[in-house]
Structure 1
Amino acid sequence: MIYLIHQNSSALKVLDSDLQETPFLIDTTLTKTLFKIAKAFPNEIIIWCHQAYQEFINSSVLHTIFHHQNILASYSVSSKYYIPNSLGYIDQSVFLNVKKDVTFPTWLMSSDVGGISARLLNSVSNNFKPFDNFDYFLNSLAKTVMIQGLFCYSEPALLTKKVQPIVEIKQASNIQLFKFVKAHYKWVWVFMLASCFVIYEKKLKLIPLIKSFFQKRLNLNFEQVNFQSINTVITKKEIDVIIPTIGRKTYLHDVLIDLANQTILPKNVIIIEQNPLPDSVSELDFITTKNWPFHIKHTFTHQTGVCNARNLALNQIESEWVFLNDDDNRFDEHLIESVFKKVHDFGVLAITTVYLQENEKLLFTKTHQTGIFGSGNSFIKASCLKNIRFNMALEFGYGEDFDFGMQLRNEGVDVIYCPDIRITHLKAPFGGFRTEVKQLWDADMVQPKPSPTIMYTFLKHYTKKQLLNYKLVLFLRLIKKESIFNYWSFYKNFQKKWQASIFWAKKL
């Protein structure tokens, strides 16, 4: 470890792994000094820290925080970041509403304390501008490269204890914010940002908007350093598979065949079969008439609903790992083996795979932290699920997968997308036992828009400004279908539907 101690955006001193000052020629800016250290110590992890927090550096755990070379982690002692929360007006990602007391995936970075591998810095040194503003540089680097495979975190364990803010965070000005948006998002979003300021804050940001026109979009092709985590996340290669099913006997049989052909077999396959008909019995005769190379735990229930079914299955887990599967998936014989290899290499606790229908095109081709979560194509360490279940408030609605993924992240479990592990989703027709579901708001004169279950997830997991952004985007998407002579009537009805959605979301 090499430590770079700074104050007021100026480098003060460089410390060696024993926290002893070492002779080093400080450059003109903090960012340039960081790159200079990376060249001088190409095999080290470089830790930056404001002088005010130097005594709290948690040096004993740094090797576990930076357990492979593709990690950028920092921690903001206060609740503020350099990038103000106004960014929520144009960014609906899960990475903005940071939970401060756990390891949380985010590209929002802080100069208070943090670290990065020298090897990674050297890999981008030739085509990434070393901005004079250190906070801008950190956030720009993380925002640009996170989608390409740099693992970025807010990490409270960088400090030995929770300390009170000593240093005041100087946030980006409106001009810097607009330039940041222009450099890291599609150009249209600077206009959306300006519109949100006008609509929601009654402020006209004309000068920042105009100055952003001269800002070029930042592009950086980042090549991942080889993953070789030192974290041990697998002690036994044992896994249970969860499958909720309803009226898809043939498809489920094919899934079991794929599981039986695995090079690493599951220990238990937990099947939750649903049929709402009062006198119905199981149709899955092949569970007992065929010999399977794993134990099948079969539960038959008259209560329908995927949230309930998956929760029943989660209560029956025995193995170290869990595969959240579906009854209309297909995959090759190396699926579980490939997942265990990735888990070992990355040192992570949750992985989600490619999940496309047969003729869909793969769009994201690099391993990266993802804001999505799939309950039919994800693998999780069972110990992470002690306090997590599918939210029954979202049964028969939308958003239960997203909510489950956010519960994981809020417990400090990152979700990694692996583009080279594929599960094909057949998207089979609904089984024949489903009954019509009546929602609480079905009889209302004003039907909520968006769905109250979607609103529920936004209220629970997003910032207020992200919610306002969603409202504006939804409004613009819907009004395009309206006649210009109907705009005022549409606006009034939209507001009523929005308020109805909030009402029922809070009821949920």
Structure 2
Amino acid sequence: MIIIYHKNNRVIEIVADKVNIISFDVNDSISAVLLDVAVKYPKKTIFWCHKEFKEYLNLKDYNQYFHHHKMMLSYNPSSFNFLPGSIGYVEQSSFINVNKKVTYPTWQMTSTVGVIHASVLLKDFIKPNKDFDLFLNSLAKSAMPNGLFCYSEPKLLKEIVERKIPKASRVVLYKFVKQHYKIVWLFLLFFCELIFDKKISLLPLITTLFYKRKRNVNIDLSSIEVNSTLKLVNNNNNNNNNNNIDVLIPTLGRKEHLYNVLVDLSKQTLLPKKVIIVEQNGLENSVSELDYLKDTWPFKIDHTFIHQLGACNARNIALSKVTSNWVFFADDDIRFEKELLRKSFDYIKQFGVSSLTISCLQNEEIEKNKIPFQWGGFGTNASLVESKYIKSCSFKPEHEFGYGEDTDFGMQLKNIGCDIIYLPYIKMLHLKAPIGGFRFKFSPKWANDKIQPKPSPTVLAYNLKHQTKQQLLGYKVLLYLKFFKHQQIKNPLSYIKSMNKRWEKSMYWANKMMNYEV
């Protein structure tokens, strides 16, 4: 373990293994020293820490939060980040609105305190920068899509103390956007700042247009060891409670397909303890058609038959019945091989994660992802989650019969410290069976409104709950731009006036649903 202490944009001390003092060039930037240390000590974990936080740096059992080499952690106690909130105008992902009370996935790094393994820095995909915060943000932004697990981690500090952190200038912000996004986002950023913030960032825009983008997009981190020191699961197929898995399946009119799912589960080399099935049928006098549930299965079947339709309601009923340490969110029209659960737990153990979404594609779809990565979504048809995290989560009624219930559930998990890793190595087949699903014509409350909401209130409800103000406004601008060619009003002013009314109508219904008024 090596710790680099810095102050006033310069390294002031480097300590190795708590005792040895390492020499360095006092004239070098912090990032240059960091890279140099990685070259000299390629097998070391390297911390950086602002001098003011030296006594608060938490090094006790640090391998419990920095538990494998393909990670990058940092923590800034302030409510502000290095990049201003206007970065939300150009990025809609879940990595912008960071919950600093928990371990939260984000590429937004800070010079306050952080840690990385030397093997990541030795991949030589980023050059030193005199601005250490900019260097750290660029490093994480580049490497995160390539499999580096990046987090805001409050465990880095023994206690939370405030500090005035450096803030990026407008020129730095625009350069960052030029470096990591397509050039069109520069103009969107300029436009949004002009309209919503009343800022004319003409000089940063012009300066950045001539800024040469230097970014290595071919980042290969595959050779870096990933072997988590966390002990989450036991892979032996015995009575160890850590192996207990409940499978959650809502179903609607897919008798034959559900039977095949149960057969696949019965063949698992790591058997689930219980399969929770919530069967829906909207006909009031109907009875269950799942007669094969009375057969002998190698797991307990907990079957609930209801007349109320809706996947959100069905999944919430199933969630209330989970008793095992892990829950597998499944669908009633998927197929998978017998090693699915065992292999999934192998990767859970390897990466030390509490949530995993498995590749689940249709027959002719091709998996484009080649590496595990931190995912902004959540798959309700193909995910494993440690059950302790679902106790405070639910599928919200504002997304019933609409969109966003899965991503919303994923955001609830993130906000209590449960990251979601997408795993392309294990594959399931999603049949997308033609029966089941929404077997009736659902009419939302706004169906007969003279002014139809745009976007769907279910989509806007998600944005209102989980996005920053700038992200919401950026989404609004993009919606207006993209939808223009798909509608009949060609006068721009008339179009904006019409869309504003539709946006307000969507806001009205989204808020009513979130307040349980409809």
TM-score range, shorter chain: over 0.9
Q: Does residue 454 in structure 1 map to residue 459 in structure 2?
A: yes
**Letter of the 1:15 counterpart:** V
Question: Structure 1 344/483 Cα, relative in aligned 2: closer, same or farther at 3 Å?
Answer: same
Question: Structure 1 481/301 Cα, relative in aligned 2: closer, same or farther at 3 Å?
Answer: closer
Q: Does residue 42 in structure 1 map to residue 42 in structure 2?
A: yes
Q: Does residue 177 in structure 1 map to residue 173 in structure 2?
A: yes
Counterpart contact for 1:7–1:50, Cα < 8 Å:
yes
The aligned counterpart of 1:191 is 187
Q: Does residue 332 in structure 1 map to residue 329 in structure 2?
A: no
Q: Does residue 296 in structure 1 map to residue 301 in structure 2?
A: yes
Q: Does residue 350 in structure 1 map to residue 355 in structure 2?
A: yes
Q: Does residue 216 in structure 1 map to residue 213 in structure 2?
A: yes
The aligned counterpart of 2:61 is 61
TM-score (normalised: structure 1): 0.96
Once residues 482 and 201 of structure 1 are traced to their aligned partners in structure 2, the CA distance between those partners, rounded to angstroms, is 29
Matches within 5 A, 1:263-282: 263-282=269-288
**Letter of the 2:443 counterpart:** K
Matches within 5 A, 1:430-469: 430-431=435-436, 434-469=439-474
Once residues 181 and 433 of structure 1 are traced to their aligned partners in structure 2, the CA distance between those partners, rounded to angstroms, is 41
**Which deviates the most, 370-379 or 257-266?**
257-266
Q: What secondary structure does 2:446 align onto? A: coil
The aligned counterpart of 2:509 is 504
Cα shift readout 1:118-138 (whole Å, capped 9, x = no counterpart): 12212x23x421112111110
Q: CA deviation at 1:485?
A: 4.2
**Which deviates the most, 83-92 or 31-40?**
31-40
Once residues 232 and 499 of structure 2 are traced to their aligned partners in structure 1, the CA distance between those partners, rounded to angstroms, is 49
Once residues 445 and 435 of structure 2 are traced to their aligned partners in structure 1, the CA distance between those partners, rounded to angstroms, is 23
Q: CA deviation at 1:437?
A: 2.7
Q: Does residue 255 in structure 1 map to residue 256 in structure 2?
A: no
Given candidates 401, 406, 424, the residue that maps to 2:406 is 401
Counterpart contact for 1:275–1:433, Cα < 8 Å:
no
Q: Does residue 129 in structure 1 map to residue 161 in structure 2?
A: no
Counterpart contact for 2:148–2:221, Cα < 8 Å:
no
Once residues 217 and 189 of structure 1 are traced to their aligned partners in structure 2, the CA distance between those partners, rounded to angstroms, is 17
Q: CA deviation at 1:341?
A: 0.4
The unaligned stretches of length 5 or more in structure 2 are 235-241, 514-518
Given candidates 240, 264, 285, the residue that maps to 2:291 is 285
Counterpart contact for 1:448–1:500, Cα < 8 Å:
yes
Once residues 491 and 432 of structure 2 are traced to their aligned partners in structure 1, the CA distance between those partners, rounded to angstroms, is 38
Q: Percent identity?
A: 45
**Which deviates the most, 138-147 or 194-203?**
194-203
Q: What secondary structure does 1:479 align onto? A: helix
**Which deviates the most, 81-90 or 481-490?**
481-490
Q: CA deviation at 1:483?
A: 5.6
Q: What secondary structure does 2:34 align onto? A: helix
Once residues 135 and 381 of structure 2 are traced to their aligned partners in structure 1, the CA distance between those partners, rounded to angstroms, is 38
Q: CA deviation at 1:57?
A: 0.7
Q: CA deviation at 1:24?
A: 1.7
**Which deviates the most, 198-207 or 472-481?**
198-207
The aligned counterpart of 2:516 is none
The aligned counterpart of 2:243 is 237
Question: Structure 1 485/497 Cα, relative in aligned 2: closer, same or farther at 3 Å?
Answer: closer
Aligned length: 502
Q: What secondary structure does 1:48 align onto? A: strand
Q: CA deviation at 1:268?
A: 0.8
**Which deviates the most, 8-17 or 477-486?**
477-486
The aligned counterpart of 1:108 is 108
Once residues 201 and 371 of structure 1 are traced to their aligned partners in structure 2, the CA distance between those partners, rounded to angstroms, is 27
Given candidates 485, 495, 503, the residue that maps to 2:500 is 495
Once residues 259 and 44 of structure 1 are traced to their aligned partners in structure 2, the CA distance between those partners, rounded to angstroms, is 43
**Letter of the 1:152 counterpart:** C
The aligned counterpart of 1:17 is 17
TM-score (normalised: structure 2): 0.94
The aligned counterpart of 1:373 is 378
**Letter of the 2:185 counterpart:** W
Once residues 157 and 21 of structure 1 are traced to their aligned partners in structure 2, the CA distance between those partners, rounded to angstroms, is 25
Question: Structure 1 439/483 Cα, relative in aligned 2: closer, same or farther at 3 Å?
Answer: closer
Q: What secondary structure does 2:392 align onto? A: coil
Question: Structure 1 264/17 Cα, relative in aligned 2: closer, same or farther at 3 Å?
Answer: same
Question: Structure 1 179/319 Cα, relative in aligned 2: closer, same or farther at 3 Å?
Answer: same
Q: CA deviation at 1:438?
A: 3.1
Counterpart contact for 2:5–2:49, Cα < 8 Å:
yes
The aligned counterpart of 1:310 is 315
Once residues 177 and 216 of structure 1 are traced to their aligned partners in structure 2, the CA distance between those partners, rounded to angstroms, is 14
**Letter of the 1:284 counterpart:** L
Question: Structure 1 484/400 Cα, relative in aligned 2: closer, same or farther at 3 Å?
Answer: closer
Once residues 22 and 120 of structure 2 are traced to their aligned partners in structure 1, the CA distance between those partners, rounded to angstroms, is 23
Q: What secondary structure does 1:355 align onto? A: strand
Q: Does residue 152 in structure 1 map to residue 147 in structure 2?
A: no
The aligned counterpart of 1:85 is 85
**Letter of the 1:219 counterpart:** N
Counterpart contact for 1:131–1:137, Cα < 8 Å:
yes
**Letter of the 2:133 counterpart:** D
The aligned counterpart of 1:97 is 97
Once residues 376 and 338 of structure 2 are traced to their aligned partners in structure 1, the CA distance between those partners, rounded to angstroms, is 28
Q: CA deviation at 1:246?
A: 0.5
The unaligned stretches of length 5 or more in structure 1 are none
Once residues 192 and 164 of structure 1 are traced to their aligned partners in structure 2, the CA distance between those partners, rounded to angstroms, is 33
Once residues 485 and 398 of structure 2 are traced to their aligned partners in structure 1, the CA distance between those partners, rounded to angstroms, is 32
**Which deviates the most, 77-86 or 110-119?**
77-86
Given candidates 379, 382, 387, the residue that maps to 1:382 is 387
**Letter of the 1:196 counterpart:** C
**Letter of the 1:339 counterpart:** S
Cα shift readout 1:156-183 (whole Å, capped 9, x = no counterpart): 1100011122xx2222111111111111
**Letter of the 1:48 counterpart:** W
Counterpart contact for 1:182–1:217, Cα < 8 Å:
no
Given candidates 161, 164, 170, the residue that maps to 1:163 is 161
Once residues 304 and 472 of structure 2 are traced to their aligned partners in structure 1, the CA distance between those partners, rounded to angstroms, is 39
Q: CA deviation at 1:21?
A: 5.7
